[in-house]
Amino acid sequence: MEHPAPKTLMEAVRYFADADRTLATMVELRWPEGVHCPTCGRTDVRFIATRQIWECKEHHSRKQFSAKVGTIFEDSPLPLDKWFVAIWSIVNCKNGISSYELGRAIGITQKSAWHMLHRIRLAMETESFEKFDRVTEVDETYVGGLAKNMHAPKRAQKVTGTGGVDKAAVVGLLERGDADNASRVRAGMIIDANKKTLQAVVRNHVNAGSLLMTDGHKGYNGLGAEYVHQCVDHGAEFVRGIVHTNGIENFWSLLKRSIKGTYVSVEPFHLEAYVQEQVFRFNQRKDNDGGRFRVATRGIVGKRLTYKELTGHAVSPAAA
């Protein structure tokens, strides 16, 4: 009997409870053109049903392999059904899902759930060398705790200035949509928000000659020589016809809502992963739950994140 692909979380839990069906889904997403050896690429591999693994006919190390090898799931003792429910949850929850909540939901420890979620965030990262060429909004923001919410000793220790001082800087670009395309975002952490840094980001991601919208930040001054640059001074107005940065500011609202409401406290070392998580959900917002799950799952191959790497305890090649 054929089972339709799940459309809701409840359907996904039931669907992936069947180990054979879960493995078939993994094979379909990872090897759409047929299973091949991750070491040598040979396609005439033998499936060992009793162990749910394949064996390559070529003589080399690691000739036996599972569907997890070479993915974010590698070396994980957790079954694929728990991994798939975790992926379904994080890509479809508008404000994300905390490691405590996920751990309770699928019956694992908070520590394991935290590592699991970070590995999924790695799979959600998408890279594109295609530059924006439609109307593009650019803005920067700062992420960090509010001074008014800190105890006095902690505030004295961490807050040494006003505005974005002592906070992590993030820059974002939003290409406005049209009749055929939804708006899309790119964002990432930057060292600082000075002119050199901001303009380098714009040049890397936006085609010269495009219509560029920014606020009155002095870091964008001078871009008029390469772009049709329009700026809106938020000290006097927020919208002037089509000139505004409301789209990217809406994205900042979504990002900060997830950080403050769901994750509560994010170390700067990990902030980039949370930014990319929100970028994925924003850019895939027109898709349905099952579609977002499949897009994210296709990104699992060739990416690994060990617990030592995640916590900064891995030994670098230079130090080894």
> Among residues 93, 78, 64, 110, which one has the least CA distance to residue 284?
93
For residue 121, is pLDDT > 90?
yes
Q: Given pLDDT bands bounded at 50, 70 and 90, which one contains residue 127?
A: confident
- The domain that holds 208 is classified in CATH as 3.30.420
Q: Please state, in angstroms and as integers, the Cα–Cα distance from residue 45 to each residue in 33, 55, 68, 114, 293, following that order.
A: 13, 6, 16, 35, 28
Q: Could you give the percent of the chain with pLDDT greater than 70?
A: 90
Q: Please state, in angstroms and as integers, the Cα–Cα distance from residue 10 to each residue in 18, 76, 88, 119, following that order.
A: 14, 24, 11, 23
> Could you tell me if 116 and 149 lie in one domain?
no
Residue at 247 is within a domain: yes
For residue 291, is pLDDT > 60?
yes
Residue at 258 is within a domain: yes
Alpha carbon distance 234, 238 (integer Å): 5
Q: Which residues pair with 230 in a beta bridge?
A: 213
Residue at 149 is within a domain: yes
Residue ranges making up the domain that contains 176: 136-266
Model confidence over 10-41: pLDDT tens digits? 999 999 999 999 999 999 999 999 999 999 99
Run of H or E residues at 205: helix 195-205
> Could you tell me if 206 and 172 lie in one domain?
yes
Averaged pLDDT score across all residues of the chain: 90
Say if CB 91 and CB 280 are below 8 A apart.
Answer: yes
Q: Taking the model in full, what pTM does it have?
A: 0.89
Residue at 106 is within a domain: yes
Model confidence over 203-225: pLDDT tens digits? 999 999 999 999 999 999 999 99
Say if CB 187 and CB 170 are below 8 A apart.
Answer: yes
> Could you tell me if 142 and 85 lie in one domain?
no
Residue at 59 is within a domain: yes
Residue at 278 is within a domain: no
Q: Please state, in angstroms and as integers, the Cα–Cα distance from residue 214 to each residue in 135, 194, 230, following that order.
A: 11, 14, 7
For residue 82, is pLDDT > 70?
yes
> Could you tell me if 117 and 197 lie in one domain?
no
> Could you tell me if 107 and 190 lie in one domain?
no
What is the predicted pLDDT for the residue at 165?
62
> Could you tell me if 33 and 94 lie in one domain?
yes
- 112 token code pair: 């394991």
If one counts the domains in the chain, the total is: 2
> Could you tell me if 104 and 145 lie in one domain?
no
Residue at 280 is within a domain: no
- 70 token code pair: 């070479």
